[in-house]
Homo-oligomer: A and B are copies of this chain.
């Protein structure tokens, strides 16, 4: 299970060093794609396959689902980590997520999210700003 946030810095060639503690679990073959919230998703290649299959099983006439298909499957790229455990982020994906130097890698259990640092801060701020956190209905009565 992937956990934890790491502040990474992308070098001028667009390479990102994956933290050593996660290399083993990621293996060398990974899939990087786009998420509607403006970040990128990073999956170990085997974990991605069933997700893609599920997406493509949806109707391609429905506006909602075809939009998701275009984003998630359309942007998906197979990438291999280099010998130093770095992955090369293509210009297209870099542009999509507005990635420059400072990148946040956020563990989300089965996968990671990659955020431009500023975008991450912004989305974090909006969550905490309200003071009160509205709990999703499914978590009614749930406490930490």
Contacts and interface: CB of A to CB of B under 8 A. Distances in A.
B3 A139 contact: no
Contact of A136 (B5, B65, B76): B65
Chain A: interface secondary structure? mixed
B4 A109 contact: no
Contacts of A127: 36, 67-68, 70-71
Q: Taking each of A51, A69, A124, which has the highest tally of chain B beta carbons within 10 Å of its own beta carbon?
A: A124
A108 B70 contact: yes
A24 interface: no
Interface residues of A, number: 60
Given A41-B144, A108-B69, A133-B68, A128 B76 contact: no
Interface in A43-67: 51-52, 54, 56-58, 60-67
A101 to B, nearest CB: 17
Given A56-B109, A68-B127, 6 more contacts: A3-B73, A3-B77, A3-B78, A4-B78, A6-B92, A67-B127
